[in-house]
Amino acid sequence: MSINITMPALSPTMEEGNLAKWLVKEGDSVSAGDVIAEIETDKATMEVEAVDEGTVARIMVAEGSEGVKVNAVIAVLAEDGEDPGSVEASAAQPSKPDEQTPAPATASSKKTEAAEAPSDKPAPMAEQASQGVSASGDRIFASPLARRIAGQNGVDISRINGSGPRGRVVKADVEAAVSEGTAVGTKQSAKGSVQAVTPTAVQGMTDEQILATFDDGTYESKPHDGMRKVIAERLTQSAQTIPSYFVTMECELDKLLALRTQMNEAAPNDGEGKPAYKISVNDFIVKAMALALQAVPAANVSWTSTDRLYHKHSDVGVAVAVDDGLFTPIVRKAEQKTLSVISAEVKDIAGRARNKKLLPQEYQGGCTAVSNLGMFGVREFTSIINPPHASIVSIGAGEKKPIVRDGALAVGTLMAATFAFDHRCIDGALGAELAAAFKDYIENPMGMLV
């Protein structure tokens, strides 16, 4: 009996992914544990392993396909002794590189399908073009991705000549129409009148109103990718639902900088004659935040609708800028790790974050985060809390300033650390206590070595 291989859910929130690459072809034999494909999500590129052995009889989703739903059939295996040529897959025809393969129907979905089934009543013309229907009522064959891009850019897909099989309109056709300015801006109704593209509301203005404020040709339109959509959704939700407040502590860095220099100079060489580690100021900051949460355990919390979760360990996220996006990989149990271990781990996860090679468990969860823009010369800033975190500390640049030290005027290196707290579970005095504990570790860094 044939075995269906389905699109896996690589995280609890994943609904769809892109099939980036097949590592097998039809006719290949595979065993359980063999890597057969690479899947892209909004956050990472993951390898998919076979869980059964057999022969690849049918590849149902082509390499490069985008928006493939979780549990959709992507390939079919023939079992030992079964003729691969006679295998009948439960999925439909293989999809093209920019098509979306629907998940197979289940008993629980039949009611929904019936409710969403098209009726005999014709759809309004403003909707027909997005569904691939021309003004005359003829169906226009177009991939879901092409229709989505057309809708985002106000393109009448019925006016595009498709280059795909049987004249199917694909992603490249729509992008060409957008760049050439053809088929953009209006749609013809069945009566020949012109209808405006149905806009989507964004920040109190419709897309049409936003576009009307700019001259044609003075901007380039770039559709949102999965990462940008997730960032927008999560941070908008955070800003709208978390009652945040901010506390700023100015920390003197001179002792920390001196200790850092001593530790790096004392670092042993590796096998290639290079220092085994090079600790950064940010590594001290991660460790200080972890230890501060242990010193003030009431602030080491997460909020749910029914409970506060008090964490035993300090799992500290480190904000990492990537191409057109942001990751916050987690240093687990940071309070137990030495500065050299934290340094090596942060370098590793930051590098893999930039290459989208992190596993979901490496960037999900955590109880707090560190965001450091000091290397860009930023003096002070605030950050948005990323749930399930209840806090985040924003680090500015160290600056030479006059200070009073032992009753005398001196010059010191000061760094602004601005904390954002979720007021639902960390009240003002508690947040100030955590900020003070952090400041104490930064200004007395030998305490981090104990």
Residues assigned a catalytic role? 423
Residues in the chain: 450
CB 397 within 8 A of CB 374: yes
**What single-letter DSSP state applies at residue 91?**
S
Question: Which residues have C-beta within 8 Å of that of residue 26, sequence separation ≥ 6?
Answer: 56, 57, 58, 59, 84
Q: How many other CB atoms are there within 10 angstroms of residue 105's CB atom?
A: 11
Tokens of 43: 């956050």
The owner of tokens 């929130």 is 13
* Whole-angstrom Cα Rg for the chain: 28
Distance (Å, whole) CA 84 – CA 138: 38
Strand 3-6 vs strand 73-78: parallel, antiparallel, or unpaired?
Answer: antiparallel
Residue type, 46: M
Q: Residues 386, 390, 393, CA angle at the centre, nearest 5°?
A: 75
Q: Exposure of 426 by Cβ count < 10 A (0-12 exposed, 13-18 middle, 19+ buried)? A: buried
- Phi, psi of 222, rounded to the nearest 5 degrees: -125, 110
| Cα dihedral sign, 292-293-295-296 | positive
Query: CA dihedral defined by 430, 436, 438, 442, rounded to 10 degrees?
Result: 180
Helix (H, G, I), strand (E, B) or coil at 348: helix
Tokens of 377: 């010369």
Q: How many other CB atoms are there within 10 angstroms of residue 252's CB atom?
A: 19
Distance (Å, whole) CA 164 – CA 419: 53
From the list 319, 302, 320, 303, the residue with the least C-alpha distance to 311 is 302
- Phi, psi of 236, rounded to the nearest 5 degrees: -65, -45
